[in-house]
Each structure stands twice: as C-alpha cells, then as structure tokens.
Structure 1
Amino acid sequence: MEKYDPRIDAYIEKAADFAKPILLHIRQLVHGAAPQITETVKWGMPFFDYKGPVCQMASFKQHAAFGFWKASALNDPKGIINAGEQAAAGSFGRITSLAELPSDEVLVDFITQAVALNENGVKGNLKTTTAKPKAEIPMPDYFAQVLANEPKALAAFENFSASHKREYLEWITEAKTEATREKRMLTAIEWLTEGKSRHWKYK
C-alpha cells in the first residue's frame, strides 16, 4: 500500500478553506511521527493505518475533526481526549482552527502510542471492562418543553436507546451559555425530526 493516497489530496483540496491547514498539519504530523503509516479512505474519511486503523480525520462544513481508533486505550493523564469517542472522528471535539488542536508534542505522543497498540496486537477498548457506568442525566424542563411542541422529534427521541438519549442530553446541558444551549436545541430538534442520532455524521 502506498504511503500517500491521492484520494486524500483530493479530499483536502475540496475541504473548506478553514479546514485545509488543519488537515494538512494533521497529515504531516502523522507521517512525521510514524513513517510506517499508510493512508486510505474509509467511510468517506481519510484514515491512517498501520496493521489496522490508527487515526482518522474529517472535514465538515463548519468544523474539522481528528480521532484515534483506539482512543480509550491511549494513556491520557491530562484527560485531553473526549470520553466516548473511540472509533469516531471526534477525539478532540469540533476543530475550527489549528489553535484548537492539542500541541504537536501531545499529538505525536498519542500517534506513537496508537501505532504501538497495533504493533502489539491490542484489540478494542482496553478501558471498557473497568469503566464506571455514567450517571443518568435527567431531562431538563427547557428541553422537555421544546420537545413537547415537536411530536416527530419527541417520538424519535423516545425511541432512541438510553445511550443515544444521553448523547443529546449531555450535549445540551453542557452548553456554557444560554445562546449556545438554544442553538443546540434547535439543531437537536432538526436532527431528531430526521431520525438522526447525536453523532450521525460519524456513523
């Protein structure tokens, strides 16, 4: 397999202008940290492989994302990696500028660790067996009122699994400002009306 995949050149070229330097930086950093890595495209996203998936990046209309396939198995003492984002493109949340990425030193360490996991044949999520169950998030009154006025969205929400419900509730209740909360609720209603889960973009 070739080290560089021309499909990823095309992917970056088609990305939004804000995302191009982010994707180019990630790509350069990955190959610099682990020259043995090769590129491919899976589920429409650029993937970096070495004896299996190592990490992946993606570009959307308003943000970019970078994630590690075995994120939960990485040593992350500072808690930089988003919890629950294994095998998704969002280990570091929504990225809109290079400044929002962790430092190169931190990323190189994660890349090196991820390569070592594959080299040693480590499978899956090492921490799932010891992870404590998450506390239930109660439905906030303000979101319940919004859902009550949107029967289709409400029906979709009620039919979701507990984990999918939690993803929405966590996203909305963790908003730091009222404006952000309102925006997230509007987006949630739109997605729920279409029957989409919170992380549908990464499926």
Structure 2
Amino acid sequence: MPILDPRIDAYIAKSAEFAQPILTHLRALVHASCPEVEETVKWGMPHFMYKGMLCNMAAFKQHCSFGFWKAEMLLSQADTKTEEAMGQFGRIASLKDLPPKKTLAGYIKKAMQLNEDGAKAPAKAKTAKPELQVQDYFLAALEAQPAALTHFDAFSTSKKRDYVEWLDEAKTEATRLRRLEQAVEWIAEGKSRNWKYEKC
C-alpha cells in the first residue's frame, strides 16, 4: 500500500476543481509505476523521490504541470513543451492533455533507472550576458566628474550594469536626466546603484 504524505492530500484538496483529477491521476500513476516512491513537498510543490529526485507536479490557476528531475536524459527536446509551462508536458488543463498512461509510466520507469544508475542531471549552461555598452551621454557626464569616472571604472561589471540599465529604463527624457544627475552624484561618492539596501 502506498505511503501518502498528508501535505499532498491537502495540496490536492485546495487546488482548483479542474486540477484535482489531474493531480490525483498523476500521483496514482507515479505510485503504480514506482511502488517504493516517497512523497514530499519541496518549494511548495508535491515531489516524488526514489533514490533521489524523480518527478514533481504542481497546480496553477488555469493549468497543472508535471516534470522529471532528469528530463534532459529522458525526453528529446522535440517532445518537451518547456516553453509553454513548467515541467515537460506544457499546460495541462485536463487529463486529455497528458500523454497516455503507458507512455508516462515508461518515462517514470526510465527516470527510476537513471536514479538507480546514479546518473547526474546535466548542468545547465550559463548564458553569457551581452557585453556592457555604456551610453555616450553617461560616459560624458562621468568624464566631467573625475571622481565619478574613477569610481565607475573600479566598479564590477554588475554594478556598472545596474546604473546603465537604470538609465535605459527611464520612460521620459526628464526622468533620464534626473537619474543621470543622481547617478553621477552617487558614483562620485563611490556608491552603487542600490547602496541604500546594501548591508553596512
């Protein structure tokens, strides 16, 4: 008999009406495919553990999601709908949106095998941020204040980026000029853009 976590019972009970049969179906399928599975709640969502993280499910206002911890090793990129929603099966609004039981059970068994084999999920590749482009008018204003330019040159790229983006986000020219004046003043004092919130 499966061991059920009462927190997941409560999670399903408080989910939207459309979501309850989906979550109940997924939970039963995981237990049927992996009788030794353990239930838990992580990051506020139901998770299923078998020799490590196996899979998880979640309910939102208008859809549910279901996903595998090592999805990249289970499903081809063409078979996933990660751009639509969290998990690999897109926005699940009804049981019809799920793959057939047999297909899902096969994925669960493969995920179990990966955990038994000690396979590690591939590390996510970090996407490099574009090179920082400092606006000409900002550079000119900094050059007019030698102390500001010295501090700005010594700032880390992320601190510089905070100022550059703050100026870029200004909706009007008046706001941009106000921000520019404030930025040069703070930088001349060696302050980062968010200095008020930094721990002393």
Q: Same-fold call, TM > 0.5? A: yes
Question: Relative to 1, partners in 2 of residues 1:84 and 1:119: Cα closer, same or farther, differing over 3 Å?
Answer: farther
What does residue 117 of structure 1 align with? 114
Please give the TM-score of this superposition, normalised by the length of structure 2. Answer: 0.58
Partner deviation per Cα, 1:34-53 (whole Å, 9 max, x = no partner): 10111000000000001111
1:114 Cα shift? 0.5
Give structure 1 stretches of 5+ with no counterpart.
134-150, 156-203
CA contact (8 A) 1:72 1:84 kept: no
CA contact (8 A) 1:19 1:96 kept: yes
Asked whether 1:80 is paired with 2:79, we answer: yes
What is the identity, as a one-letter code, of the residue corresponding to 2:24? L
What does residue 26 of structure 1 align with? 26
What is the identity, as a one-letter code, of the residue corresponding to 1:93? G
What does residue 154 of structure 2 align with? none
Which of the residues 99, 102, 106 maps onto 1:105? 102
Q: Describe how 1:1-203 pairs up with structure 2 within 5 A.
A: 3-76=3-76, 79-82=78-81, 89-125=86-122, 155=169
CA contact (8 A) 1:57 1:89 kept: no
CA contact (8 A) 2:82 2:89 kept: no
CA contact (8 A) 1:68 1:89 kept: no
Q: State, as a whole percentage, how many aligned pairs show the same letter.
A: 51
CA contact (8 A) 1:33 1:111 kept: yes
What is the identity, as a one-letter code, of the residue corresponding to 1:106? T
What is the identity, as a one-letter code, of the residue corresponding to 1:113? K
3-state SS in 1 of match to 2:79: coil
1:4 Cα shift? 1.4
Give structure 2 stretches of 5+ with no counterpart.
128-164, 170-200
1:90 Cα shift? 1.8
Measured in 2, the distance between the counterparts of 1:81 and 1:99 equals 16
1:84 Cα shift? 7.4
Measured in 1, the distance between the counterparts of 2:76 and 2:62 equals 27
Measured in 2, the distance between the counterparts of 1:24 and 1:122 equals 29
Aligned residue pairs total: 129
Partner deviation per Cα, 1:64-90 (whole Å, 9 max, x = no partner): 00000100011549x4223579xx942
Partner deviation per Cα, 1:182-203 (whole Å, 9 max, x = no partner): xxxxxxxxxxxxxxxxxxxxxx
Measured in 1, the distance between the counterparts of 2:83 and 2:53 equals 17
CA contact (8 A) 1:56 1:66 kept: yes
Please give the TM-score of this superposition, normalised by the length of structure 1. Answer: 0.57
RMSD: 2.8
CA contact (8 A) 1:53 1:69 kept: yes
